[in-house]
Amino acid sequence: MRSWIRLFGFTLVVAAFPAALVYAEYTEAPVADGGSISGKVAFKGAQPPPATFAFSKFPQEKFCSQADSDGKGNRVRQDVKVKGGGLADAIVYIEKIEKGKAFKFGGTDVVADICRFLVQGGPSKSVGVVMKKSELRVTNNDADPSDPKAAAGVLHNPHGYEIKGATSVTLFNKPLPNKGQTVKEMIKPISFKKEDSFMKVECDQHNYMNVWFLPITNPYYVIVNDDGSFSIDDVPPGKYEIKAWHPILGFQKKEIEVAAKGKATVGFEFAAK
The per-residue pLDDT for 5 is: 36
d(CA 78, CA 94): 27
* CATH of 33-45+86-271 among 2.60.40.420, 2.40.30.10, 3.40.50.11740, 3.40.50.720: 2.60.40.420
d(CA 241, CA 78): 30
d(CA 37, CA 255): 12
- CB 60 within 8 Å of CB 154: yes
d(CA 243, CA 60): 40
Residue 133: other Cβ atoms inside 10 A: 10
Nearest to 94 by CA among 39, 33, 148: 39
Mean pLDDT within 81-85: 97
Q: Positive or negative CA dihedral for 48, 49, 50, 53? A: negative
Q: For 90-143, write each residue's pLDDT tens digit.
A: 999 999 999 999 999 999 999 999 999 999 999 999 999 999 999 999 999 999
The per-residue pLDDT for 31 is: 97
Q: For 35-64, write each residue's pLDDT tens digit.
A: 999 999 999 999 999 999 999 999 999 999
Nearest to 140 by CA among 73, 206, 187, 191: 206
Q: Kindly give the pairing relationship between strand 238-246 and strand 91-94.
A: antiparallel
- CB 93 within 8 Å of CB 216: yes
Q: Positive or negative CA dihedral for 59, 62, 68, 73? A: positive
Domain boundaries, the chain: 33-45+86-271
d(CA 12, CA 47): 51
- CB 51 within 8 Å of CB 79: yes
For residue 21, is pLDDT > 50?
A: no
Q: For 138-185, write each residue's pLDDT tens digit.
A: 999 999 999 999 999 999 999 999 999 999 999 999 999 999 999 999
- CB 192 within 8 Å of CB 3: no
The per-residue pLDDT for 273 is: 85
The 10 Å CB-count burial string (b at 16+, else e) for 236-253 is beeebebbbbbbebebbe
Q: What is the mean pLDDT of the chain?
A: 92
